[in-house]
C-alpha cells in the first residue's frame, strides 16, 4: 500500500489521508529497513553474472546464509566477550 498523495490540481488532502499515510509509513519503514540491511550486508543485488535460476538461488541463499551465520557468530562472540569482561571486573 502507498501513502495518499494529492492529485494534480487538488488543493488539499482529505482529513483521513494523513492518518492513513502515517499508518502505512509505520508498517513499511521497518520492512524497508530490514531489506536495506540485507542488501547492505549481503550485496545480494550483485547477481548480474548469474545465468540460470538455479545459479540465482545458490547466489541468493548462499549470501543470506553466510550473512546470518556471520551475524549470529558475531553476536555470540560479543556476548562471550562481555561475559569475560564482566567476570574480570
Instruction: Please tell me the total number of residues recorded for the chain in this structure.
Output: 89
Prediction pTM value = 0.52
d(CA 70, CA 67): 5
> Residue ranges per domain, the chain?
17-88
**Banded pLDDT at 41 (limits 50, 70, 90):** confident
SS3 (DSSP) at 41: helix
Predicted pLDDT at 40: 85
Cα–Cα dist 21/75, whole Å:
36
Q: pLDDT-based confidence at 75, cuts 50/70/90? A: low
Is there a contact between 47 and 56 (Cβ–Cβ < 8 Å)? yes
Amino acid at each position: 500500500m502507498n501513502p495518499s498523495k494529492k492529485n494534480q490540481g487538488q488543493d488539499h488532502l482529505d482529513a483521513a489521508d494523513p492518518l492513513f499515510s502515517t499508518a502505512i509509513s509505520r508498517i513499511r519503514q521497518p520492512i524497508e529497513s530490514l531489506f536495506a540491511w540485507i542488501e547492505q550486508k549481503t550485496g545480494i543485488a550483485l547477481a548480474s553474472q548469474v545465468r540460470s535460476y538455479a545459479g540465482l538461488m545458490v547466489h541468493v541463499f548462499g549470501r543470506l546464509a553466510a550473512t546470518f551465520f556471520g551475524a549470529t557468530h558475531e553476536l555470540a562472540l560479543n556476548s562471550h566477550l562481555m561475559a569475560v569482561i564482566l567476570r574480570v571486573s
